[in-house]
Amino acid sequence: MSTSIEYAVEHATLYTYEDAVSRSQQLLHLVPRENPRQQCMHQSLAIDPEPSRRSDHHDCFGNPVTLLEFDQPHRSLSITSTMRVAIEPRAEPDLGASPPWERVAALFDYRAMRPLDAATLDASRYRFESTYVRIKPALADYARDCFEPATSLMVGVFALMQKIHREFRFDPAATLIATPLIEVLEKKRGVCQDFAHLMIGCLRSLGLPARYVSGYLLTRAPPGKPRMVGADASHAWISAYCPVLGWIDFDPTNNVLPDTQHITVAWGRDFRDVSPQRGVILGGGGHELDVGVTVTRVAGGS
């Protein structure tokens, strides 16, 4: 298939510590997961200093994870992930083909002895509170006008995406990762993580499954198209589940249905499950963090 577009991605993280770190353990989500439309041809991690131990496996959501251990004193930690990824364009989904949202929510109501198929069981993992996503009546209320009775599920989700994009301002200074959703909802400001968490919270508060997707955006937009927001760092968007259409991605930050410009790395219940780099260090004092993401188109498409 020649329709696919190929990207080169470089994701560089540099921690500089005030004092020496005597021991460090890191958990990385930097290797992209396979999915039907996305193929990873090459992937490598450059790590400095050399870790004393490395192990690679898959987490409970099927994302590749890398565990690193450093047992020599160091004052900086540099991890650069480079990859080549090819993405095929998706077919335009017929959002109206999904059933009324209440019927989808009811699908997850427990009934004694009713068996769940694999897809429903999997989707039911993404319906509950998680570290950064609380379930609140206020969130359900916010989404209510997108989900009039009998609204087709995906039409409602699309409307919710538009509403968030319309009413919220992108503002990196407004929030931290731990800022509660209710505060984000009040301030109407935040970054892509907040918008994703907010949208997930709204859907789950209505009893609908939604998951958090982390990945990258093309750094420089194709000619004639606007540059997307969130292109210089890790990006985040959401995926909603429909028993007919399956999982469909929505990007509330850019108000689009991700296509060939979104490169998926991992998904989970929220940021906590898929943060690119998470670690426990001994010593170190204060630290500075420098993250850079570059995505360039290498071949394909038009």
Residue numbers of the site for other proteins (CB under 8 A)? 13, 15, 22-23, 25, 27, 53, 55, 57, 59-60, 67, 69, 71, 108-118, 121, 124-125, 127-129, 135, 137, 140, 177, 269, 273, 275-285, 287, 289, 291
What's the closest the beta carbon of residue 265 comes to other proteins, in angstroms? 13
CA distances from 273 to 66, 108, 211, 267 (A): 13, 23, 10, 8
Instruction: Return the number of the residue (16 or 255) whose C-beta is nearest other proteins.
Output: 16
What's the closest the beta carbon of residue 243 comes to other proteins, in angstroms? 15
Cα-Cα-Cα-Cα torsion 293, 302, 96, 255, nearest 10 degrees, comes to: 30
What's the closest the beta carbon of residue 52 comes to other proteins, in angstroms? 8
Q: What is d(CA 96, CA 299) in angstroms, rounded to the nearest whole number?
A: 34
> Strand pairing of 235-242 and 38-48?
unpaired
What's the closest the beta carbon of residue 32 comes to other proteins, in angstroms? 17
What's the closest the beta carbon of residue 143 comes to other proteins, in angstroms? 14
Instruction: Return the number of the residue (177 or 299) whose C-beta is nearest other proteins.
Output: 177
What's the closest the beta carbon of residue 11 comes to other proteins, in angstroms? 10
Q: Please enumerate in sequence order all residues whose Cβ is within 8 A of that of 282, keeping only pairs 6 or more positions apart, or say none.
A: 21, 22, 23, 24
* Phi, psi (degrees; rounded to nearest 5) at 3: -75, -15
Q: Please enumerate in sequence order all residues whose Cβ is within 8 A of that of 159, keeping only pairs 6 or more positions apart, or say none.
A: 146, 147, 151
Instruction: Return the number of the residue (33 or 127) whose C-beta is nearest other proteins.
Output: 127
DSSP code at position 125? G
Q: What angle do CA 88, 93, 95 make, to 5 degrees?
A: 155
Instruction: Return the number of the residue (66 or 98) whose C-beta is nearest other proteins.
Output: 66
Cα-Cα-Cα-Cα torsion 210, 267, 255, 290, nearest 10 degrees, comes to: 140
Instruction: Return the number of the residue (245 or 281) whose C-beta is nearest other proteins.
Output: 281
Q: What is d(CA 181, CA 136) in angstroms, rounded to the nearest whole number?
A: 9
Instruction: Return the number of the residue (6 or 232) whose C-beta is nearest other proteins.
Output: 232
